[in-house]
Amino acid sequence: MPEQHRRRSASAVLRAACLLPALLAAIVIGGCAGIERYPSGAITVTVKPGQTGQCAIAPCRILLEMPPGDGEYRVTGNQITLGTYPAGKTVDLGNYYEPQAIEIVGAGVPRAFVYLPIMP
C-alpha cells in the first residue's frame, strides 16, 4: 500500500475516533431527554400526571409523582380506587400485571398511563 494512502487512512481513523465521544454524548443526552417525556423501566416506572410510561416486565411497580398542593388526593387506576396520597410526594401505587390509566381525582391534572406487556 502506498505511504500516502496509509497516511490518509490513518488520518480518517483518527478523525472518526475524535468524533466518536461527541457522537456518543449526543446520543446519551438525546436518550435521556426522551426518558423524561416517556418514562420507561424494566420492573419499575415513575410517572407524573400527563405522562405515558412503559414497563418491560410484568408485574410492574408504579410510582406516581403527585401534583403540588396541600392535603391528599384520591388516586384511581382503571377507575378503581388505589388509595389516598399526599400532594407533592412520589408515592408507590404497587405492582400491576395490566396497563393502568391513573387519575388523581380532584387535582385538575391529566391522567397518567402505564403500559405493560400482555401476559399470556
Q: Is the confidence at residue 31, as pLDDT, over 60?
A: no
Asked if 42 and 56 touch (Cβ cutoff 8 Å), the reply is: yes
Q: Is the confidence at residue 47, as pLDDT, over 70?
A: yes
| Contact residues for 42 (Cβ-Cβ < 8 A; gap 6+) | 55, 56, 57
Confidence at residue 17, expressed as pLDDT on a 0 to 100 scale:
46
Asked if 58 and 97 touch (Cβ cutoff 8 Å), the reply is: yes
SS3 34: helix
pTM over 0.75: no
pLDDT higher at 6 or 34: 6
Q: Give the cell for residue 8.
A: 490518509
What's the rounded Cα separation, in Å, for the pair 117 and 57?
6
